[in-house]
A and B are shown apart, each in its own frame.
Chain A
């Protein structure tokens, strides 16, 4: 009998503390309204308060805190991208992630595991070498490894040559990590609320007030609010919010599904990704295998799950780990990914003055959370686009200046 635990639960010396205040009434005006109380929106609010002393901020969300894509991703953190601008940005984010539990005084269960991107073709090996060179040039620890080295790094991986697509090598990125995604949202929410930011869940934005080409407020299901500026950080709903402000985005909303297995004893040390086999897999602290693959094949604003997804994914997982054949899938779910044509985000200014964008995060958004918060808050506070996010401007599409991150951002292309 856990007598100690019962005593603890009944003792008055350990009262339950409320992590952040109950939702207040909406004020008529704020300096900043952030639409979206996910990781990105809450991180932006946190750094606005912490770095810039801006606390007259309301974060509104149609659902509950961190209930969107922040709750639904496979929680992989890495900076082994292909373009120098991408690598710089994601590495800034990863470095912030490393210290985030300490920064937020909230355990986000950050676990550095090492990240293997498997190459099953010569073309993939070539891209791996390219990524390794760009990474090394920017002081990011990535290297191309041979099958023999992979066997030492991750002994449970199937390195047989007697498969459809044998593993020819991999890009090994030592800083690759996983974290508890919900905790990131909660930690930022608590930190922001402690500094005076108001968090308003179950408050859906139904309209954006634009006067003379400038955003001046938002209409919500709980009333209309005026503000100095609006930040939208709403992932799959990006196009809908942009539509309220009167402009379009180069974004398609597509479901991204994921699943977990029953808990197993720890055997998978690293995070394993295969572009050719459309699969990424890691083992959580609970022992569950967290698995994901390509996005759904067509646009949809629904987080429904399909058998097609699990069937297809499991076929690929079993090519890498055949001994998992009898393991059960425990749970599957989906998020709505805001996909851009070049697999890079859309950050910065919009055609509407004082309406700022943090969108187009597709299947690559969770790892960017701390950096997004940092640079979006700087944009809001100074009115100038930070150099680190200038390459992600919406305006790049007008110039046909697309990013080349498809190979490094996602699987299943």
Chain B
């Protein structure tokens, strides 16, 4: 099985998690135009290499950040969101969990 080292729960089977997409700063929906919002919602970096993503441990409802290599399938580092986010305002997780 593939192990995801959860910052809260320790190493768990990756099937217990859902990937929430790239960590992207959300533009202010009231200030950006429709096209900028559409780009934020739909357009993807889809990078080949180390990406920074939101991940969600379903059983404990815990969101965290993982740095993962999308070529080698290696999980490089995982850490709580508080390491890079000081507040919830103006930014947030992609919100799109995938099973």
Contacts and interface: CB of A to CB of B under 8 A. Distances in A.
B70 interface: yes
Given A308-B1, A308-B15, A301 B38 contact: no
A397 B42 contact: yes
A400 interface: yes
B44 interface: yes
A240 interface: yes
Interface size class of A (residues with CB under 8 A): 20 to 34
B48 A301 contact: yes
Contacts of B72: 302
A169 to B, nearest CB: 25
Contacts of A300: 70, 73
Contacts of B45: 239, 248
Given A297-B99, A298-B98, A304 B73 contact: yes
Interface residues of B, number: 26
A249 B71 contact: no
B44 A248 contact: yes
Interface in B12-42: 14-15, 18-19, 34-35, 38-39, 41-42
B42 A250 contact: yes
Interface of A: 239-240, 248-253, 297-302, 304, 306-308, 341, 397-400, 412
Given A253-B70, A397-B42, 13 more contacts: A240-B48, A248-B39, A249-B46, A250-B42, A250-B43, A252-B46, A253-B46, A297-B19, A298-B19, A302-B73, A304-B73, A399-B38, A400-B41
12 contacts: A251-B46, A297-B99, A298-B19, A298-B68, A298-B98, A299-B19, A302-B72, A307-B1, A308-B2, A397-B42, A400-B38, A412-B99
Interface of B: 1-2, 14-15, 18-19, 34-35, 38-39, 41-48, 51, 68, 70-73, 98-99
Task: Across the A-B interface, give the 4 residue pairs with the lowest CB-CB distance, nearest first.
Answer: A239-B46, A250-B42, A248-B43, A298-B19
